[in-house]
Structure 1
Amino acid sequence: MTDIPMVDLFVIGGGINGAGIARDAAGRGLKVILCEKDDLAQGTSSRSGKLVHGGLRYLEYYEFRLVREALIEREVLLNSASHIIWPMRFVLPHSPQDRPAWLVRLGLFLYDHLGGRKKLPGTRSLDLRRDPEGAPILDQYTRGFEYSDCWVDDARLVVLNAVGAAEKGAEILTRTACTSARRENGQWRVEMRDERTGATRTVLARCLINAGGPWVNDIVGRVAGSNSRRNVRLVKGSHIIVPKFWDGDHAYLVQNHDKRVIFINPYEGDKALIGTTDIPYEGRPEEVKADESEVEYLLAAVNRYFKEKLRRSDVIETFSGVRPLFDDGQGNPSAVTRDYTFDLDETGGAPLLNIFGGKITTFRKLAEHAVQKVGKFFPNMGPDWTAGSKLPGGEIENADFVAFTEKMREAYPWLPRGLLHHYGHLYGARMTKLLAGATSMDGLGRHFGAKLYEAEVRHVVNNEWALSAEDVLFRRTKQGLHMSPAERETFAQWFDGELLRAA
């Protein structure tokens, strides 16, 4: 027993909640291991609507506490990582058939004031016949509103939290399944298996945190051999990606006949991200995909408002995620709370904290609350610290990304503007590490297509746990969306060959 290493906290799940908890706890001086069976953010956390937002529609369900917390967190996160999180204006064409104007105005008034908004501009009314934002909208919609929220690169938000956790001393294990966790003499005996090599490893942990997302109940029962009085409700949300069909960097939010709202957001420069659906899901989370009925639903919602009609052939890509919502007994999936709840089992003096629900925007607060929840078992741990801290790469003066990019243009005059913005938005102040030693484009190495160069690939492999071509193309850089099938295949062959040679 004495030969088995001991940690304070063992976190299962490498999504946004698990990565946030690992960073928070490691920054308080706890010894932490995070274990993820796949890649970081491979599940739900890379398949969101890419928004840091208060949740305007949650006001209809009287979720005032959640909306207030999310609105406050919106500005906290904006200050912490202005390279991957930035303000976006949303245009809401008013449809009198769905919600009366007074209700929309009231909701937007509350949205502007509940969270103590400081940085983002407030709501304004639009005349869609006159204002340029109304140009692509059908003539029958004459009134609209414009309000603020923020965009986020969700997968990178997870990765940066994991990087931050590692820099505070946490051990991050990807492609590593937690196969068993059993209480033993007031602590947890945890067994893991490397999914690539089959090698096994055992550690002891004083506390276990289950941040498994859609797999949370499976981990409670099958892995930890425990029970929980809470339950998770799986709801599928699907998105489609199409060519961008309007001018400007603003987004749109449209109301559908079923009272759901659909986001139509600029994505990756020349594309649009449209979603989401809300459908009960009972399958395996790893097998989730968008159904044709969902694709048609999203297309129909957009075509109800816009002059340019989208067709099925316009859909470049689809993706679907399973949201692990806390089951509060609501029948309508859209009404199920997006709030989070904890279940702490202290049996035998070996605590197990199960996490149910949550959303991207409130991950930092969830992580802080989770570590506070188990704090009584670690009387010497440090205080709350993440609210005023920067995420890796976010060390940008005054969180002013525009000023930062101008400074980088002076430092790297040979770097094309588009590539500089790409590196700036993904790596922020850490882009200097990626570009270390390069004095010309030749220094970036092989070009694989779009904005993907060898230097960036090696950076995410060496510093961000990228272990497959898919990790690089779709979760670390998104460049797979801009490359041809042949370019992606060539890159995959090179990447696998490089890994084999490195091994």
Structure 2
Amino acid sequence: MTHPLSSPDSPFDVVLAGGGINGAGIARDLAGRGYRVALLEQGDLASQTSQWSSKLIHGGLRYLELGDLALVKDSLQERERLLASANHLVHPLRFVIPQAAGNRPRFILRLGLWLYDLLARPARAHRSGSLSLAGHPLAHILKSGPARSVLHYTDARTHDARLTVAVARDAARHGAAILTRHRVLSAARGPQGWSITARLADGSQATFTSRCLVNATGPFADRFIEDALGLPPPAHLRLVRGSHIVVPRIGAHEEALLLQNTDRRIVFVIPYEDRFTLIGTTDIDHKGDPADPEISEDEVRYLCAAANRYLAVPLREEDIVHRFAGVRPLINEGGGTARTTSREHRLYLDRDGPPLLSVYGGKLTTFRSLAEEVADTLTPLLPAREGKPAGWTRNARLPGAFSGDEERAAVLALLDSRAPALAGDRRARLVAAYGTEAPDVIGAGHDGEGHDADAPGPLACGGLSQREVRWLVEKEFALTVDDILDRRSHLGLIATDEDRRLVEGWIEGTAA
């Protein structure tokens, strides 16, 4: 059937395949410029690479060693933009660099940090420096103890999947159709543009007509072009697996650790979701299906050994409470190691008929600038539309972002007055996840009843309520328990079987 939003007489300007961070960012930018956009995602938003990152918004200190200065500078500029435009989801995080025998000399690290600061200008609030461990909680965590000072610098952390959802919501707010559980089966060029056939969750099929097609399928980019389009890919990907382990919280400190390993790789040790610590990542060439990567036992041992070079209390494999792996779609230039392969992106535009643009590579941090580049590339090929100017996303806030400290304080005051029984840890989780929208999520906004915190009825893990689940289904494209517990939140880390059954029932009640 022809999709009701699209027909040969009323085609989309752009159809995007892929609902990761890059696809969501491209949909947002183009929709804001006034174009008719549809995003088709075969699963849930951020259900692949975009949920399996190290949860960092960063310049990439280690990329300085590879000479990728332009990538680092762009990443640092985008870090600053996200700290302002998504300040409920992106927060500064200080990294401490402990030393061990055989590491890079301290003066080399100082030089690298000086260059990092220089490339980040004018972000003076995040300058690097030295930190004394005397009396610091880290003194009890590290083998080195308080004997000497350590170097530190600041980047940022995020909830990667929630960031993707926020970007997709902003795209929808500007008119984009965000269609999850729509797997593109085929796409063919014709006199009216592209004819794109997708299979829906119920097994039915729908056809979309579009002037342009964007391939933003991440690690599936090669396969998408070959299987769905029947064309040779313009380049080939190098699929690199990055794996992480999660353990109970190590220490009471708030800083992350940047650990130098004996193979010259770095491993991060990051405070994670209050109760946990996230340790990663690896760089391994991935030969299997990119849809189902798994961390190997060798990778688990590698991460534990890297951490144990520095930790006073050794980490054991039995301490691991969760593990995950994701596949990074890097550009295959031949030779080199997975560690040294560039994280830069490339755009491939095929104009042999209706335009096809394929996105290869990219980083979570630079999704916005990548999306702007895609939109700038496609705009000359599309009809003129009334919309926002090029570059409009540079200073545009995402849904939930605070305009400043005053608005943050006002949201907290509103929650205190209209939901006085709200537990402190639940309030903190809601504000961190939803920002300015937190009161509306639980019905405590100016237009709500304000009774959620006192309402009878069960709460799931983390104080998750039926009202919050309804919000996630109706506002954030969530359809399953995993969508809610593993992507819209990280509550899956603490969820019991009973929690999952409860959430499943609430989802069914919302759909009824």
Q: What is the rounded CA distance, in whole Å, between the counterparts of 1:279 and 1:444 in structure 2? A: 50
Report the alpha carbon displacement of residue 227 of structure 1 after superposing the two structures with TM.
2.4
Q: What is the rounded CA distance, in whole Å, between the counterparts of 1:117 and 1:314 in structure 2? A: 42
Tell me the residue number matched to 1:453.
465
1:145 aligns with 2:151: yes
Report the alpha carbon displacement of residue 456 of structure 1 after superposing the two structures with TM.
1.0
Tell me the residue number matched to 1:18.
23
Instruction: After TM superposition, list the pairs within 5 Å mapping 1:72-83 onto structure 2.
Output: 72-83=77-88
Amino acid across the alignment from 1:270:
R
Q: Is the 8 A contact 2:187 2:195 kept in 1?
A: yes
Q: Deviations over 1:275-314 (max 9, x none)?
A: 0000000111112111111111101111110101111111
Q: What is the rounded CA distance, in whole Å, between the counterparts of 2:159 and 2:169 in structure 1? A: 15
1:261 aligns with 2:266: yes
Distance 1:319 1:370, change over 3 A: same
Q: What is the rounded CA distance, in whole Å, between the counterparts of 2:454 and 2:311 in structure 1? A: 45
Pick one of 144, 153, 165 that aligns with 2:171: 165
Tell me the residue number matched to 1:362.
366
Tell me the residue number matched to 1:154.
160
The answer for unaligned runs of 5 or more in structure 2 is: 444-448
Q: Is the 8 A contact 1:447 1:454 kept in 2?
A: yes
Amino acid across the alignment from 1:491:
L
Distance 1:440 1:203, change over 3 A: closer
Report the alpha carbon displacement of residue 375 of structure 1 after superposing the two structures with TM.
1.3
1:392 aligns with 2:404: no
Query: Which has the higher mean CA deviation after the structures are superposed, 112-121 or 85-94?
Result: 112-121
1:54 aligns with 2:65: no
1:192 aligns with 2:198: yes
Q: What is the rounded CA distance, in whole Å, between the counterparts of 2:153 and 2:320 in structure 1? A: 27
Q: What is the rounded CA distance, in whole Å, between the counterparts of 1:404 and 1:489 in structure 2? A: 30
Query: Which has the higher mean CA deviation after the structures are superposed, 474-483 or 271-280?
Result: 474-483
Query: Which has the higher mean CA deviation after the structures are superposed, 295-304 or 392-401?
Result: 392-401
Q: What is the rounded CA distance, in whole Å, between the counterparts of 2:438 and 2:503 in structure 1? A: 24
1:353 aligns with 2:353: no
What is the TM-score of this pair, normalised by structure 2? 0.93
Distance 1:22 1:119, change over 3 A: farther
Distance 1:223 1:399, change over 3 A: farther
Report the alpha carbon displacement of residue 28 of structure 1 after superposing the two structures with TM.
0.3
Pick one of 236, 241, 244 that aligns with 2:246: 241
Q: What is the rounded CA distance, in whole Å, between the counterparts of 2:8 and 2:74 in structure 1? A: 44
Distance 1:238 1:404, change over 3 A: same
Q: Is the 8 A contact 2:188 2:229 kept in 1?
A: yes
Q: Is the 8 A contact 2:419 2:453 kept in 1?
A: no
Tell me the residue number matched to 1:284.
289
Tell me the residue number matched to 1:116.
121
Q: Deviations over 1:405-444 (max 9, x none)?
A: 3564345333222111111111111112212223252438
Amino acid across the alignment from 2:231:
S
The answer for unaligned runs of 5 or more in structure 1 is: none
Q: Deviations over 1:34-65 (max 9, x none)?
A: 00000000000000000000000000000000
1:494 aligns with 2:505: yes
Identical aligned pairs, as a percentage?
Answer: 39
Amino acid across the alignment from 2:14:
L
Tell me the residue number matched to 2:379.
375
Amino acid across the alignment from 2:87:
S
What secondary structure is seen at the aligned counterpart in 2 of 1:203? strand
Distance 1:324 1:98, change over 3 A: same
Distance 1:108 1:493, change over 3 A: same
Tell me the residue number matched to 2:419.
412
Q: Is the 8 A contact 1:54 1:71 kept in 2?
A: yes
Amino acid across the alignment from 1:371:
A
What secondary structure is seen at the aligned counterpart in 1 of 2:412? helix
Amino acid across the alignment from 2:54:
G
What is the TM-score of this pair, normalised by structure 1? 0.94
Query: Which has the higher mean CA deviation after the structures are superposed, 241-250 or 313-322?
Result: 241-250
Q: Is the 8 A contact 2:88 2:433 kept in 1?
A: yes
Query: Which has the higher mean CA deviation after the structures are superposed, 418-427 or 443-452?
Result: 443-452
Distance 1:492 1:400, change over 3 A: closer
Distance 1:401 1:112, change over 3 A: farther
Instruction: After TM superposition, list the pairs within 5 Å mapping 1:421-432 onto structure 2.
Output: 421-432=428-439
What secondary structure is seen at the aligned counterpart in 2 of 1:138? coil
Report the alpha carbon displacement of residue 105 of structure 1 after superposing the two structures with TM.
0.5
Pick one of 69, 75, 91 that aligns with 2:74: 69
Tell me the residue number matched to 2:277.
272
Pick one of 38, 59, 62 that aligns with 2:43: 38
Pick one of 135, 139, 155 that aligns with 1:134: 139
Distance 1:77 1:466, change over 3 A: same
Q: What is the rounded CA distance, in whole Å, between the counterparts of 1:121 and 1:96 in structure 2? A: 28
Q: Is the 8 A contact 1:214 1:324 kept in 2?
A: yes
Pick one of 475, 484, 487 that aligns with 1:463: 475
Pick one of 158, 175, 185 that aligns with 1:179: 185
